[in-house]
């Protein structure tokens, strides 16, 4: 255990979130933000492991639904990047550039991917010839690079972003719409399995992905009131296929442009959501599927009974290790209390305590990380009881997070009420007439961004626009964002 890991988590999650989060990243071995290039961070062993597990969960679902794993180059040319006008306008201030010199001394600039449309779609043009080649569904887990002009923030707003991006091409607009629903379902399943709650929102047109027909975003709640966009799904229509001349022969022999989607799942932001939504003032609280250590066994040694306790602990370890990632903490230089504190900070879902009493009664004491509840369990029933406990813990994390999300949503009928809600670290739910003028007024007066309207459920306004008092067209959610 490093000296840094032994430092106390002395801050409160809901009252001092920024400092709590930054301290926990380092102490719980998630990430180190001290790398000498701003906006780039080092993922430490626990952060890297969680991202790996999330990646495996997502990629398994993508590949089961026909997405082919590919690996595309890091760079594209300025000419290819500029082909889709709206797209380059959306990213023009954010790109990193490589200056490339030829043998003759001529220079050209290569764009490092901020996302991969302009890298993939010249290849789609080569691969797609007829309707028999459709749908084409590919994905890759890579780092993308964006020169964020806003202040950087570890995991939330960085310049090197680990993510998965999927890109698809379809024969008809209805096929593309079906793919939107499939993508949303895949992302929703992964987030549910991690216990992350979110609002599924259709972005207003002025805030959609550059070059998209429309954009859907997964906004997860955060203890500081800012929403964290963990994933997005974009229906591109034929905007990119026309720019890159991606055509196919239809069944009737005529030619047409493909309909396309792109969607992205941000690993670093999902990692941030796991920490922010489930963590507490003792440290991490990790969902069992991604926890680097799922069970830790702590021997409680008493003088003269050390061998019996250690032998019993090792036998328990052997019973559990084939089903869960299990650690036997047999260090002799620190007390059981120090071990309890350390493993609580690391977010281990279940702690097993073993002392002379447990040996005498042929039991173990289980401590669940989410509620800190202690449970006595018969050794003969141990594996089954731990399995039930893990399932119950995961369900509790999911339900607890969802309760908090809806607790943070405040109905506001005036701009003053919306501003108060946002100042109180909440999300304002308001009626809007859909005009740009009122959107700007809401942002100015309420102090938050229009995040969009619900995509998963229909919400009909029962009151006038919060900004102008005229008839409202939709219900929207307003919040500060990363």
What confidence tier does 6 reach under pLDDT thresholds 50, 70, 90?
very low
- 247, 355, 363 from 200: Cα distances, Å: 32, 48, 45
What pLDDT is recorded for position 151?
67
What confidence tier does 165 reach under pLDDT thresholds 50, 70, 90?
very high
What would the mean pLDDT of 101-117 be, rounded to a whole number? 80
What confidence tier does 47 reach under pLDDT thresholds 50, 70, 90?
very high
- 166, 169, 234 from 180: Cα distances, Å: 11, 12, 8
Q: Express as a percent the part of the chain with pLDDT over 90.
A: 87
What confidence tier does 468 reach under pLDDT thresholds 50, 70, 90?
very high
Q: Residues 231-246, buried b or exposed e (16+ Cβ, 10 A)?
A: bbbbbbbbbbbebbeb
Q: Where are the alpha helices (DSSP H) in 28-112?
A: 45-64, 78-81, 85-91
What pLDDT is recorded for position 86?
66
Neighbours of 212 (CB within 10 A): 24
What pLDDT is recorded for position 105?
62
What confidence tier does 8 reach under pLDDT thresholds 50, 70, 90?
very low
Judged against a pLDDT cut of 60, whether residue 367 lies above it is answered with yes
Question: Could you report the per-residue pLDDT of 234-275, keeping only the tens digit for each?
Answer: 999 999 999 999 999 999 999 999 999 999 999 999 999 999
Q: Across the chain, what does the average pLDDT equal?
A: 94
What pLDDT is recorded for position 5?
40
Q: Bridge-partner residues for 429, per DSSP? A: 411, 477
What confidence tier does 163 reach under pLDDT thresholds 50, 70, 90?
very high
SS3 content of the chain, % helix, strand, coil (to 5): 40, 25, 35
Domains of the chain, earliest start first = 17-278 (3.30.930.10), 293-389 (3.40.50.800), 409-481 (3.30.110.30)
Question: Could you report the per-residue pLDDT of 419-460, keeping only the tens digit for each?
Answer: 999 999 999 999 999 999 999 999 999 999 999 999 999 999
What confidence tier does 84 reach under pLDDT thresholds 50, 70, 90?
low
Q: How far is CA 36 from the centre of its chain?
A: 25
What pLDDT is recorded for position 65?
98
Judged against a pLDDT cut of 70, whether residue 1 lies above it is answered with no
Query: Would you call 242 helix, strand, or coil by DSSP?
Result: helix
Dist. CA 226–CA 422, nearest whole Å: 9
Tokens of 198: 């979110």
Please state which of the ranges 96-105, 125-134, 164-173, 278-287 shows the lowest mean pLDDT. 96-105
Kindly report the pTM of this predicted structure: 0.94
Judged against a pLDDT cut of 70, whether residue 149 lies above it is answered with no
What pLDDT is recorded for position 81?
85
What would the mean pLDDT of 94-112 be, rounded to a whole number? 79
Instruction: List the 75-77 sheet strands across, edge first.
Output: 75-77, 107-112, 96-101
Judged against a pLDDT cut of 80, whether residue 88 lies above it is answered with no
Q: Express as a percent the part of the chain with pLDDT over 70.
A: 94
Instruction: List the 374-378 sheet strands across, edge first.
Output: 326-328, 295-299, 350-354, 363-368, 374-378
Please state which of the ranges 90-104, 208-222, 377-391 shows the lowest mean pLDDT. 90-104
What pLDDT is recorded for position 10?
60
What pLDDT is recorded for position 152?
78
Question: Could you report the per-residue pLDDT of 174-225, keeping only the tens digit for each?
Answer: 999 999 999 999 999 999 999 999 999 999 999 999 899 999 999 999 999 9
457 within 8 A of 202, measured Cβ to Cβ:
no
Please state which of the ranges 94-103, 264-273, 279-288, 390-399 shows the lowest mean pLDDT. 94-103
Please state which of the ranges 84-93, 98-107, 343-352, 404-413 shows the lowest mean pLDDT. 84-93
Query: Would you call 127 helix, strand, or coil by DSSP?
Result: helix
- The residue assigned the tokens 């619900």 is 454
């Amino acid at each position: 255990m490093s000296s840094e890991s032994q430092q106390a988590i002395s801050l409160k999650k809901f009252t001092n979130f920024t400092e709590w989060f930054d301290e926990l990243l380092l102490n719980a071995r998630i990430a180190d933000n001290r790398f000498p290039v701003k906006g780039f961070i080092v993922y430490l062993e626990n952060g890297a492991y969680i991202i790996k597990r999330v990646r495996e969960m997502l990629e398994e679902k993508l590949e089961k639904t026909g997405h082919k794993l590919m690996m595309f180059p890091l760079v594209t040319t300025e000419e290819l990047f500029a082909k889709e006008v709206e797209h380059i306008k959306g990213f023009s201030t954010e790109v990193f550039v490589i200056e490339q010199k030829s043998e003759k001394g001529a220079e050209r600039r290569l764009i490092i991917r901020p996302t991969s449309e302009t890298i993939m779609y010249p290849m789609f043009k080569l691969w797609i010839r007829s309707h028999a080649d459709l749908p084409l569904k590919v994905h890759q887990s890579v780092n993308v690079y964006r020169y964020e002009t806003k202040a950087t923030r570890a995991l939330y707003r960085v310049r090197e972003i680990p993510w998965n991006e999927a890109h698809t091409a379809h024969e008809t607009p209805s096929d593309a719409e079906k793919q939107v629903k499939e993508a949303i379902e895949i992302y929703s399943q992964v987030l549910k399995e991690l216990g992350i709650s979110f609002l599924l929102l259709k972005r207003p047109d002025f805030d959609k992905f550059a070059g998209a027909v429309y954009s859907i975003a997964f906004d997860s709640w955060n203890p500081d009131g800012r929403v964290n966009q963990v994933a997005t799904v974009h229906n591109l229509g034929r905007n990119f296929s026309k720019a890159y001349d991606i055509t196919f022969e239809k069944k009737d022999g005529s030619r047409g442009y493909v309909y396309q989607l792109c969607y992205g799942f941000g690993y670093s932001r999902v990692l941030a959501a796991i920490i922010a939504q489930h963590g507490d003032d003792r440290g991490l609280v990790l969902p069992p599927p991604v926890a680097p250590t799922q069970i830790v066994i702590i021997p409680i040694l008493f003088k003269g009974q050390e061998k019996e306790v250690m032998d019993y602990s090792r036998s328990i370890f052997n019973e559990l290790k084939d089903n869960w990632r299990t650690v036997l903490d047999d260090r002799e230089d620190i007390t059981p209390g120090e071990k309890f504190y350390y493993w609580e900070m690391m977010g281990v879902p279940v702690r097993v305590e073993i002392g002379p009493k447990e040996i005498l009664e042929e039991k173990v004491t289980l401590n669940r990380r989410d509620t800190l509840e202690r449970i006595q369990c018969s050794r003969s029933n141990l594996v089954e009881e731990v399995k039930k406990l893990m399932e119950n813990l995961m369900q509790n994390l999911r339900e607890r997070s969802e309760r908090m999300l809806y607790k943070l949503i405040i109905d506001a009928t005036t701009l003053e009420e919306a501003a108060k809600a946002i100042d109180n670290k909440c999300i304002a739910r308001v009626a809007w007439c859909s005009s740009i003028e009122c959107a700007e007024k809401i942002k100015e007066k309420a102090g938050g961004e229009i995040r969009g309207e619900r995509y998963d459920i229909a919400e009909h306004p029962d009151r006038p626009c919060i900004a102008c008092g005229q008839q409202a067209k939709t219900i929207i959610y307003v919040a500060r964002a990363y």
